[in-house]
Amino acid sequence: MFTCTGYAATSAETKLAPFTFERRDPGPNDIEIEIVYCGVCHSDLHQARNEWQNTLYPCVPGHEIVGRVTRVGAEVKDFRQGDLAAVGCMVDSCRSCDSCREGLEQYCQPGFTATYNGPEQGTGANTFGGYSSHIVVDRHFVLRVPEGLDLAGVAPLLCAGVTTWSPLRRWGVGPGQKIGIVGLGGLGHMGVKLAHALGAHVVLFTTSPGKEADAKRLGADEVVISKDADAMAAQAESFDFILDTVAAQHDINAYLGLLKRDRTLVQVGAPEKPLDVNVFSVIWRRRNFAGSLIGGIAETQEMLDFCGKHGITADIEMIPISEVETAYARMQRSDVKYRFVIDMASLPKAA
Ligand code: NAP
Ligand code: ZN
Ligand code: ZN
């Protein structure tokens, strides 16, 4: 075991504060990474505040991790000390169920081990995430960082990138299709960039009129202010696919009605309370309402490689870790441009 520093929430009501804890030394198949940057996902906020009612405390959030390898286990042949490495939302899974065998570890039937909030395979213990100095992860769950990209802008690809990439690929988004992205936050802005790079005609739906110019710069062909009923009506029944990234309550039926016959709206945003689906939104035109959870390890690497080839990174605001609560407050007001990334050099040193 060795000592790490980090930031943790100790209850739903307490603010994140400095926290010292132990991690295992790397085993034969493990890689130890000194964390350089960690993105701030809205899930970190949901989890720290126990909005999904399953938080284990103390909670060290963070699952958009990039850093440098400091130690490798004897069986690890393809990473060396000093290499760049990345970790996303998962650090382990059962490795033997159908989903794991198909490279869809996020749908592991007994359940995967999340980068934070556990449960560790076998013991059920809590896990501690990327708002920390180091992390130790099995090689299978460590990603390679493509060369030539800004490292801080790569961090958000590990969740926001793959969570939008996975459904865009699963539903075959590409040239000749009109697709919608709902919400321009961390996930939404990656959805716009990736869908644009995949060749689709991209329409961004936002509640924030001030984000219009940015959305176009990021790759949207059209921007619709979702509070404008006439603008919404003009888009009726015209979409091949819609990806909804909204983190709060909103009217999902307003978007289901924009799909053509037999097309799909995929929900990735995870508000704490259920969304009301009017059955006629899906009965009419035989539409589909689906969900999607992050992405598997192979498709995460595929997404990173695609981003390397196309020069895609997140648009970020860098913060010291002491400002994480301010970042959460801004995220709650939809005031994100478009992902906060923590500079881990700002972590207080161990006493
Ligand atoms: P974020 O950066 O806070 O972005 C969410 C965006 O939703 C906001 O920027 C805002 O965009 C829009 N929005 C917020 N409140 C709204 C409201 N009341 N009505 C309509 N739109 C609203 O969050 P994020 O990190 O992208 O995460 C988004 C959600 O995805 C979170 O719930 C997160 O937990 C979830 N998530 C899910 C997965 C998965 O695997 N399914 C993975 C990661 C995250 P505009 O200002 O443009 O309207
Ligand atoms: Zn996330
Ligand atoms: Zn499994």
Residues 113-134 pLDDT 10s:
999 999 999 999 999 999 999 9
Flag whether pLDDT at 350 surpasses 90.
no
Q: How far is the CA of 145 from the centre of ligand 1 (A)?
A: 25
| Contact indicator for 312, 306 with CB cutoff of 8 Å | yes
> b/e per residue, 145-178, with b = 16+ CB within 10 A?
bbeebebbbbbbbbbbbbbbbbbbbebebeeebb
Q: For the whole prediction, is pTM greater than 0.95?
A: yes
Residue percentage of the chain with pLDDT more than 90:
99
Q: How many residues does the chain have?
A: 351
9 has which bridge partners?
A: 59
Residues having C-beta closer than 5 Å to ion ligand 3:
93-94, 97, 100, 108
Choose which residue among 43, 165, 316 to substitute to test ligand 1 binding: the one with the highest number of ligand atoms within 8 A of its C-beta: 43
Q: Quick one: pLDDT band at residue 349, thresholds 50, 70, 90? A: confident
CB neighbours of 42 closer than 8 A, spacing ≥ 6? 185, 186, 187, 247, 331
Flag whether pLDDT at 351 surpasses 60.
no
What helix, strand, coil percent values describe the chain, rounded to 5? 30, 25, 45
Residue-wise pLDDT tens digits, 65-97: 999 999 999 999 999 999 999 999 999 999 999
Q: How far is the CA of 89 from the centre of ligand 2 (A)?
A: 7
Quick one: DSSP state of residue 344? G
Question: Closest Cα to residue 161, out of 347, 34, 338?
Answer: 338
Residue located nearest, by CA, to atom 7 of ligand 1: 246
Task: Provide mean pLDDT across the span 321-330.
Answer: 98
Residue located nearest, by CA, to atom 35 of ligand 1: 269
109 CA to centre of own chain: 21
**Residue 109 has what pLDDT?**
98
Amino acid in position 186? G
Q: How far is the CA of 319 from the centre of ligand 2 (A)?
A: 17
Q: How far is the CA of 207 from the centre of ligand 1 (A)?
A: 11
| Contact indicator for 69, 82 with CB cutoff of 8 Å | yes
Q: How far is the CA of 269 from the centre of ligand 1 (A)?
A: 5
For all residues of the chain together, what is the average pLDDT? 97
Task: Provide mean pLDDT across the span 158-165.
Answer: 98
| Contact indicator for 113, 120 with CB cutoff of 8 Å | yes
Residue located nearest, by CA, to atom 18 of ligand 1: 248
Residue-wise pLDDT tens digits, 203-250: 999 999 999 999 999 999 999 999 999 999 999 999 999 999 999 999
CATH code for the structural domain at 2-159+295-346: 3.90.180.10
Is 349 exposed, middle or buried, given 0-12, 13-18 or 19+ CB atoms closer than 10 A? exposed
Distances (CA, A) of 274 to 62, 97, 159: 25, 29, 23
Residue-wise pLDDT tens digits, 36-70: 999 999 999 999 999 999 999 999 999 999 999 99
Alpha helices in the chain (DSSP H): 42-48, 98-101, 151-154, 160-170, 186-197, 212-218, 229-233, 253-256, 279-283, 297-310, 324-332
Among all bound ligands, the one having the nearest atom to the CA of 115 is 2
Cα–Cα distance measured from residue 175 to residue 177, given in angstroms and rounded to the nearest whole number? 6
Report residues whose beta carbon is within 6 angstroms of any ligand 1 atom.
Answer: 41-43, 46, 159-160, 163, 183-188, 206-208, 211, 245-248, 250, 268-270, 292-294, 331, 334, 336
Superfamily of domain 160-291: NAD(P)-binding Rossmann-like Domain (3.40.50.720)
Residue-wise pLDDT tens digits, 10-40: 999 999 999 999 999 999 999 999 999 999 9
Q: What are phi and psi of 242, to 5 degrees?
A: -135, 135
**Residue 65 has what pLDDT?**
99
Choose which residue among 46, 165, 187 to substitute to test ligand 1 binding: the one with the highest number of ligand atoms within 8 A of its C-beta: 187
Sequence spans of domains, the chain = 2-159+295-346, 160-291
